[in-house]
Structure 1
Amino acid sequence: MLLNIKQNEKLLLTIFLSLIFLALNSILCKAALVSNLIDAYSFTFFRIISAALTLILIYLYKNKKLVFNTKTNWLSSFMLFIYAICFSYSYLSIDAGFGTLLLFAIVQLVMVFASLFYKEKINIQKVIGIVLAIFGLIYLLYPTQSFEVSFYHAFLMIISGVAWAIYTIIGKKSINALANTMDNFIKATLFIVLFYFVFTIDNLHYSFNGVVLALISGSITSALGYVLWYEVLPKIQIITAGVIQLFVPILSIILSIIFLNETLTNTLLVSTVIIILGILITIFSKTK
């Protein structure tokens, strides 16, 4: 019993840290792109490259040798690349709140269908938790004033959400989080370079601060965060993985208040409580 408690505590800590890193990615991306410190392609390029290099160094330190398999992980690597590049470009011309809602709504939707496809057992308590968490997210991010949305950039965000959901689902089969994540980023590097030549990217611009933010996003919040996330995924249901990611927008907004001097509102406070309650109900529900 004591061992199970310690294992659960470790799992919860790993989940929390991985969500913090996912949220910090949003903050770093927002700070870099919205402030026009760097263009979307360059941010994604430096992010993926630095993550790959960081994971290679960590892997070499632990294993003393580098193993690269050309026959596996291509789909997960491509999904990682699609998620990152579409997210960066959509962020240029889409409202942050609406974009976050759209991204994680799509992630949740795809993962619900995936859990049904894989015939995971979902009890009524888990359903209540899912509905409550989604309601809290909608309450937080649903626009209260008239606004205009670029359907093109909204479509990019939808693609990004689908790609991240697939990347997460594939991670359920991971048996070595560090090796798999390193391999994914190495192969994603090939895709980001290929993207440059296929689409002949122009109007590139970057500043020192923009590159630093991209490097932090890659080497720390992406590299370490995704390893932790792949460590968590085999231990939880697909549906649970989808629900707990709804906590990321909350963390992002809280971190925006801390680091970007945004305002704490009653709406944020109420929705945070609702979403946390929904997540806790889902995580601690008992499957028969």
Structure 2
Amino acid sequence: MRLLLLTGLAMLAFAANSLLNRLALAEAAIGPASFAAIRVGSGALVLLSLLCLRQGRWPDLPRPEPWSVLGLAAYMLGFSFAYVSMDAGLGALVLFGGVQLTMFLGAVIEGDRPAPRRWLGMALSMAGLAVLSLPGGELHIAPFALASMGLAALGWGIYSLRGRRAGDPLAATAWNFLYCLPLMLVVLPLWPDGTPASWAGIGLAVLSGAVTSGLGYALWYALLPALGASRGALAQLSVPVLALALAALLLGEAIGGLAVVSAAMILGGIALGLTGGTGRRG
């Protein structure tokens, strides 16, 4: 029960990220590159402060984990640029559909053999995502936004797969954010924002970075060893459902009939996959 509750808290943090990012960009309160940079910087500051408090000193600087840092950078940038023209709920659907595919394929390549019920759960959840792209459906996304969110999905999938090996979730997340920050700063002059950053936009970026990203990702890294790659991928498919509901409630985004059907199929797939066996390693 404790694992279930903590996983639900992490998923709520992930859904909140979609809302905070979309709210800031939709209101033209900040540009995507600045939002990503402030998000990563504030997350690094909070996590490293907690790390220093825990150890009573500034910790020794470890070697970076290149794949984790690159995965986090790809996610942060793709996520922000996609939400310039994508609704929060639909963006989360695209993101975590790609994440599920990345994590399942990564798990299989590494030798995991998910149980049959988990494969069926994945198939049902992915079918729920596909419902949105039916003719006359609700998935009307600009190609650049779709490509950006695809990059974010690949990055987050890699980051989550790497997280299963994190011996110290807080430290791993803190250092990943710190090493990711220079990559965010390089993007600012290469793709400058056309929107000046307002105090409201900066505040939303800090909230996303310090709380729903930094602390949320540290919690996620702590949960991943117990969840495993395939169950972790399935659990994350609850995020689009949460994001759709919260976006409708707080941002006034419309939820059509296909979105409701899609959400029901996704939740059904999660339930089916999470009640299956643990599978085995090859």
Give the aligned residue type for 1:13.
L
> For 1:8-65, what per-residue CA distance to the aligned partner results, in whole angstroms no more than 9, with x for missing partners?
x111111111100000000000100111111111111111111111111222222212
Deviation per CA, 1:185-222: give whole Å up to 9, x if none: 1111122123334x163535111111111111011100
CA drift at 1:265: 5.0
The question of 1:65 aligning with 2:57 is answered yes
Match of 2:236 in 1: 245
Q: Does 1:284 align with 2:244?
A: no
Any idea what SS the aligned residue of 1:196 has?
helix
8 Å CA contact 1:97–1:141 kept in 2: the answer is no
CA distance in 2, matches of 1:146, 1:236: 32
Q: CA deviation at 1:119?
A: 1.9
- What do the CA deviations read for 1:109-163 (whole angstroms, capped 9, x no partner)? 2222112111212222112211122222333565625886433332222111111
Q: Does 1:236 align with 2:196?
A: no
SS of the residue corresponding to residue 136 of structure 2 reads coil
Q: How far off is 1:70 after superposition?
A: 4.2
| Cα distance, 1:121–1:265 mapped onto 2, change above 3 Å | same
Q: TM-score by structure 2 length?
A: 0.90
Q: 1:202 to 1:94 in 2, by over 3 A?
A: closer
Is the contact between residue 127 and residue 282 of structure 1 (CA under 8 Å) also seen in structure 2? yes
Letter in 1 for 2:217: Y
Number of the residue aligned with 2:154: 162
Specify the alignment match of 1:3 in structure 2: none
Contact between 2:164 and 2:225, CA under 8 Å: does it hold in 1?
A: yes
Structure 1: any 5+ residue segments left out of the alignment?
Answer: 1-8
Q: Tell me the SS of whatever aligns to 2:277.
A: coil
Which one of the candidate residues 84, 105, 108 is aligned to 2:100? 108
What is the CA-CA distance between 1:261 and the residue it aligns to? 3.2
Distance 1:267 1:53, change over 3 A: same
In structure 2, how many angstroms separate the alpha carbons of the residues matched to 1:89 and 1:264?
A: 23
1:137 to 129, 136, 145: 129
Helix, strand or coil for the counterpart of 2:197?
coil
2:113 partner SS: coil
1:6 counterpart residue number: none
Q: Give aligned-pair identity as a percent.
A: 30
Paired residues for 1:84-233 under 5 Å: 84-94=76-86, 96=88, 99-139=91-131, 144-145=136-137, 149-197=141-189, 199=190, 201=192, 203-233=194-224
Give the residue type in structure 2 aligned to 1:81. A
2-side partners of 1:87 and 1:210: how far apart? 16
Q: What residue ranges of structure 2 are gaps of 5+ in the alignment?
A: none
Could you say which residue in structure 1 is the equivalent of 2:41? 49
Given that 1:98 and 1:141 are in contact with CA atoms closer than 8 Å, whether structure 2 keeps it comes out as no
SS of 1:237 mapped into structure 2: helix
Once the 2 structures are TM-superposed, how far is the Cα of residue 273 of structure 1 from its aligned partner? 3.3
**What do the CA deviations read for 1:226-273 (whole angstroms, capped 9, x no partner)?**
011101111122122112111111111111122223455554444433
